[in-house]
A and B are shown apart, each in its own frame.
Chain A
Amino acid sequence: MTLHTEYYNELRLLKSTPAKVWFGLLLLVLLVIPTALEGYLLNLLTLAAIHVIIAIGLNLLTGYTGQISLGHAGFIGIGAYTSALLMLKLHLPFALALLAAGGVAGVFGFLVGLPALRLTGPYLAIATLGFGIAVGQILVKWESLSGGSLGIHPPKPSIGPLVFTSETHFYFLSISTMLLMTIGAANLIKSKIGRAFVAIRESEVAALAMGVNLTLYKTLAFAVSAFYAGIGGSLMGHLIGYISPDAFNLLVSIYFLSMIVIGGLASILGSILGSILLTALPYFLSGIKNLPMVIYGASLILIIIFEPYGLTGHWMKLRLYWRMWPF
């Protein structure tokens, strides 16, 4: 156990020198990876980075604030379409479109958060489920804007003179965005806002009694989570180069929910581990056609039954074991 003598110590993200060294090493590895990997594997890593962004956003909502969302695909879709349409129709620069994608998704998150103020548990699950499906249906019907079920092709992004065309470019774009968003989330959790989120999860009534503004923080949780999903969706659209309403169905929402449950609820490390595992899994299981689904399902069930804290729970136990060794 680490003992803190100052409040500042508790707030710091990298608490010890080894942590700093490990983080530096991680950055270095991320920097050299494109020289070692290429093609499909590099793309997979880029996709994993984007999934990490969305999973962290969902974990802020579901893990930290305790509000289930089965409609995250809706936010991802809104982000992807906003950024693609802004670049195609209004010829906005990519950086602005990316931020706008997060912003518009965030506004929708706020709107979904409003009815969520009155709903808990299964009712919230149904409400968000309805939202996610409604977004898909509207995108199909509103052909003049979204191109209907045929979908659209988001253009290649560029920032100033830098045009992102190759896989390596996309890799650095996604990894740097992911790092920024992860650090942002880690800071948010340690702030007053993050503590309010956790208080709401533990007991709404107790949080209210302690002066936490439920309306503000619940809608904020939805808005922040949707912002993350919007950014992730925008990057995903530009990476794949083609989006259609089918790509944002209920299965996608469930997929991201599985990531944070397998990785560990209310944990940033968990979101990262879960996203990497679930993104890589199809690659290793691609031999048998129906196996990935069965394995997803089985791992969700087994983790809830045997390891409710997910991969992070296991990691924590392991770390504690070695720290206490040989006792």
Chain B
Amino acid sequence: MLTQLIVSGLATGCLYALVALGLVIVYKASNVLNFAQGDMAMVSTFVTFTLLETLHIPFFWAVLLAIVGAFLLGALFEICLLRPVKHPTPLGLIIITVGAQQILYGVAGWIWGYDTKAFPSLLSDLKIYRFGALVISEVNLWILIASVLLMLALLLFFRYTRLGIAIRAMSQNLITAKLMGVSAHWTLSLTWGIASVLGAVAGILIAPITFLDPNMMLNPLLKAFAAATLGGMNSFAGAVVGGGSLGILENLVGGYLTPELKESVAFLIIILVLCVRPSGLLGRHYKHRV
């Protein structure tokens, strides 16, 4: 029972972690809380849906195309909406992402409608695998595999490639990074593109469970905020740890205490963490210069 709850919680947690990673990458690079992260992912998932249903493209290619589209969406977001702001303030930037979220939501509702649709995935929620006493559904298994692979790829990217190091340098100190020859504009667009791809993957993985509608990413986004807060807004590892532990904790509360409390765990965590340790588990405490 316990391992069962932990494993299925971990699968949900991986999805939170993917969305949270997108938030943290963007936050570290451009100091913005991206409220459009969820709806960018939602639009990418709907694009996959159209590619599969209307254009009858094979699953693998449809997902690949959607991921490329998600990357472009993220990069365009940065180029068209954030770059023109002359004197960015934290509030102003947050409001821009909120505005973009409204546009994406409205456009998605316009094109695809507000009714719930089934996502034609190759993975089913009903087919299950057994590992000894442990039962795991096909969707959850693939969620675990895909997110772990993606996180490993990100780790390698940030550690060993020039671009990854450039992104990290830029989020540590923008001016120094520019002086060292990092092209801040392109690196920022790239960062937004990567964040959008992370969200899109989470959206495509979650769609067989939650079904498709313009609201589908709202809940995962809120949970990802909680996960990022728990792990620390300025730590990549924190987002992963926060997402995983939030998923497990939710499942344990749902399994052992009451299912009613399950949805509120995330918000209790936000309030507790912000009261006790605002920088999160792995985040560094922020200091201000006068």
Given contacts A134-B271, A290-B106, contact A126 B100 (CB under 8 A): no
Stretch at the interface among A3-11, A160-168, A297-305: A297-305
Can you list, as one digit per residue, whether each of A289-327 has a CB less than 8 Å from chain B (1) or not (0)?
111111011111100110010000000000000000000
B271 and A131 within 8 A (CB): yes
Nearest CB on B from A301, distance (A): 4
B106 and A300 within 8 A (CB): no
Chain A residues closer than 8 Å to B274, beta-carbon distance: 115, 118-119, 123, 126-127, 130
B106 and A293 within 8 A (CB): yes
B105 and A293 within 8 A (CB): yes
A115 to B99, CA, bound (A): 27
Stretch at the interface among B5-13, B157-165, B200-208, B221-229: B221-229
Tell me the chain B residues, 68-124 only, with Cβ under 8 Å from chain A: 81, 84-87, 89-96, 98-107, 109-110
Give which listed residue, B87, B94, B109, B266, contacts A68 with CB less than 8 A: B94
Stretch at the interface among A173-181, A213-221, A253-261: A253-261
Can you list, as one digit per residue, whether each of A79-120 has a CB less than 8 Å from chain B (1) or not (0)?
000000000000000000000000000000000000100111
A251 closest partner in B (C-beta): B102
B107 and A304 within 8 A (CB): no
Chain A residues closer than 8 Å to B266, beta-carbon distance: 130
Chain A residues closer than 8 Å to B93, beta-carbon distance: 304
6 pairs of residues in contact across A and B, judged by CB atoms under 8 Å: A129-B270, A134-B264, A294-B103, A294-B106, A300-B102, A301-B81
Chain A residues closer than 8 Å to B268, beta-carbon distance: 134
Q: Is the interface of A mostly helix, strand, loop or mixed?
A: helix
* Centre residue among A250, A292, A305 by max chain B CB count within 10 A: A305
Report if B290 contacts A (CB, 8 A).
yes
Report if B59 contacts A (CB, 8 A).
no
Nearest CB on A from B4, distance (A): 27
Report if B275 contacts A (CB, 8 A).
yes
Chain B residues closer than 8 Å to A130, beta-carbon distance: 225-226, 266-267, 270-271, 274
Can you list, as one digit per residue, whether each of A126-167 has a CB less than 8 Å from chain B (1) or not (0)?
110111011001000100000000000000000000000000
Chain A residues closer than 8 Å to B27, beta-carbon distance: 122
Of all A-B residue pairs in the complex, the 9 with the closest CB atoms, nearest first, are A297-B102, A300-B99, A293-B106, A297-B103, A130-B270, A294-B106, A301-B99, A290-B110, A297-B99
Report if B125 contacts A (CB, 8 A).
no
Report if B53 contacts A (CB, 8 A).
no
B290 closest partner in A (C-beta): A205
Q: Is the interface of B mostly helix, strand, loop or mixed?
A: helix
Report if A121 contacts B (CB, 8 A).
yes
A296 to B264, CA, bound (A): 30
Chain B residues closer than 8 Å to A193, beta-carbon distance: none
A129 to B290, CA, bound (A): 28
B267 and A134 within 8 A (CB): yes
Chain A residues closer than 8 Å to B85, beta-carbon distance: 304-305
Interface residues, chain B, with chain A CB atoms under 8 Å away: 27, 31, 33, 81, 84-87, 89-96, 98-107, 109-110, 218, 222, 225-226, 229, 233, 260, 263-264, 266-268, 270-271, 274-275, 278, 286, 288, 290
A126 and B106 within 8 A (CB): no
Chain B residues closer than 8 Å to A191, beta-carbon distance: none
Report if A62 contacts B (CB, 8 A).
yes
Number of A residues with CB within 8 Å of any CB on chain B:
44
Chain A residues closer than 8 Å to B288, beta-carbon distance: 120, 205
A118 and B271 within 8 A (CB): no
Nearest CB on A from B252, distance (A): 19
A292 to B110, CA, bound (A): 11
A66 to B92, CA, bound (A): 12
Report if A203 contacts B (CB, 8 A).
yes
* Centre residue among A68, A203, A300 by max chain B CB count within 10 A: A300
A300 and B90 within 8 A (CB): no
Report if A252 contacts B (CB, 8 A).
no
A253 to B4, CA, bound (A): 38
B267 and A122 within 8 A (CB): no
A275 to B102, CA, bound (A): 18
Chain A residues closer than 8 Å to B107, beta-carbon distance: 290, 294
Nearest CB on B from A276, distance (A): 19
A261 to B93, CA, bound (A): 12
- If A125-B94, A127-B271 are given as contacts, then 16 extra A-B residue pairs at C-beta distance below 8 Å, sorted by A number, are A68-B91, A115-B275, A121-B90, A122-B31, A133-B267, A134-B271, A137-B263, A141-B260, A206-B290, A261-B91, A290-B110, A304-B92, A304-B99, A305-B84, A305-B96, A308-B92
B99 and A122 within 8 A (CB): no
Given contacts A68-B91, A294-B103, A297-B103, contact A254 B222 (CB under 8 A): no
A290 to B109, CA, bound (A): 7
Give which listed residue, A126, A292, A296, contacts B99 with CB less than 8 A: A296
A300 closest partner in B (C-beta): B99
A118 closest partner in B (C-beta): B278
A249 closest partner in B (C-beta): B218
B271 and A298 within 8 A (CB): no
Chain B residues closer than 8 Å to A68, beta-carbon distance: 90-91, 94
* Centre residue among A62, A122, A257 by max chain B CB count within 10 A: A122
Chain A residues closer than 8 Å to B103, beta-carbon distance: 293-294, 297-298, 301
Nearest CB on A from B224, distance (A): 11
Nearest CB on A from B122, distance (A): 31
